[in-house]
Amino acid sequence: MRGILEHNKPLAEFTSWRVGGPGRQVYQPADLEDLSEFLATLPPEEPILWLGLGSNTLIRDQGYAGTVIVTQGHLKELSQVGPQQVRAEAGVSCAQAARYCARLDLTGVEFLAGVPGTIGGALAMNAGCFGGETWPHVAWVETINRRGERRQRQPSEYQIAYRTVQTYPDEWFVAAVFNLQPGDKTIALAAIRELLDRRAATQPTGEPSCGSVFKNPPNDYSARLIETCGLKGHRIGGALVSPKHANFIINENNATAKDIEALIAYVQATVKQQHGVSLEHEVRIIGEV
């Protein structure tokens, strides 16, 4: 194996909330071939967690009693594979993919610049923002299973909905090819800059958060419901509901995962009590209580 294997590695450094206990073992693969070889060495019952930019993920303070695969900075190949197609591996950041396509005079995925994660995470949850979603642009995906076997799958093989993708057991996304449209890079890059300016103006982009915490309920917005409950600025321990955007929780003062999880539960209970709406968190909560 050519990757980096570490034991009892603190996972806070791999999460955008900057919280999380240790992973029993953490592997940073050299490339897809190396990843295949490593996965094939794991016992069939070994728990496996994948981390890209570590957004949309809350790892509890006790950590993860299994193997963590870190893709950020490792599965990073990005290439044009057809006149209007680009292939991106799972560790490529969404923002990098959006700019890469724009510079090739290819358009359609500018919205990815506003997604605070990697391509792997965007595929796993059908990530989106500002009116765009990931999967409508997918030509096909490449996956890997726990035996290290790789295959291609078509979008028609998945059930895809808002922030949800029904995946296959013990199989994970390692790359995707995107269908794009011809365009003008000057216009596309300007659209990306405008999108990022909007994001910076409305979201706490410079502070440790996971991105949006809650899914929007039908015909409404989680942020509106939370704000009308007077919860902007509410804190538990070091965790704070962002005063800038109510659907963000900030690690303001050395929060623990327990602080953040308690604040998530408090927001849910308050919105349920005042509005009768059950907010569903889109963030994954990982580890034993």
CB atoms within 10 A of CB 277: 15
Residue 269's H or E segment, with its range, is helix 257-275
- Measure the CA–CA gap between 179 and 47, rounded to whole angstroms: 34
Task: Please determine, for residue 289, whether its predicted confidence score (pLDDT) is greater than 80.
Answer: no
Nearest by Cα to 178 from 62, 104, 82: 82
pLDDT of residue 247: 97
The CATH number corresponding to 4-70 among 1.50.10.10, 3.40.50.720, 3.30.43.10, 3.65.10.10 equals 3.30.43.10
5 pLDDT band (50/70/90 cuts)?
A: very high
Whether 163 is a known active-site residue: answer yes
Asked if 210 and 230 touch (Cβ cutoff 8 Å), the reply is no
pLDDT of residue 163: 85
* Sequence ranges of the chain with CATH classification 3.30.43.10: 4-70
Active-site annotation holder among 153, 163, 224, 284: 163
Q: Which residues contact 136 (CB under 8 A, 6 or more apart)?
A: none
Q: At what angle do helices 185-202 and 94-103 cross, to 10 degrees?
A: 150
Active-site annotation holder among 93, 212, 222, 242: 212
| 153-209: pLDDT as tens digits | 999 999 999 888 999 999 999 999 999 999 999 999 999 999 999 989 999 988 999
pLDDT of residue 288: 84
Whether 282 is a known active-site residue: answer yes
pLDDT of residue 168: 93
Asked if 250 and 236 touch (Cβ cutoff 8 Å), the reply is no
What are phi and psi for residue 102, nearest 5 degrees? -60, -40
| 228-263: pLDDT as tens digits | 999 999 999 999 999 999 999 999 989 999 999 999
* Sequence ranges of the chain with CATH classification 3.90.78.10: 222-286
Q: Torsion angle, CA of 46/28/169/11, rounded to 10 degrees?
A: 70
- CATH, domain range 78-202: 3.30.465.10
116 pLDDT band (50/70/90 cuts)?
A: confident
pLDDT of residue 82: 94
Nearest by Cα to 197 from 114, 287, 123: 114
Tokens of residue 21, six digits = 């206990």
Tokens of residue 31, six digits = 């490339």
- Strands (E) in 36-137, as ranges, are 48-51, 57-59, 64-70, 78-82, 85-89, 106-107, 128-129, 132-133
Residue carrying structure tokens 């955008």: 16
| 66-105: pLDDT as tens digits | 999 999 889 999 999 999 999 999 999 999 999 999 999 9
| 6-48: pLDDT as tens digits | 999 999 999 999 999 999 999 999 999 999 999 999 999 999 9
Q: Class of the 222-286 domain?
A: alpha beta
144 pLDDT band (50/70/90 cuts)?
A: very high
* Sequence ranges of the chain with CATH classification 3.30.465.10: 78-202
Asked if 174 and 142 touch (Cβ cutoff 8 Å), the reply is yes
Whether 133 is a known active-site residue: answer no
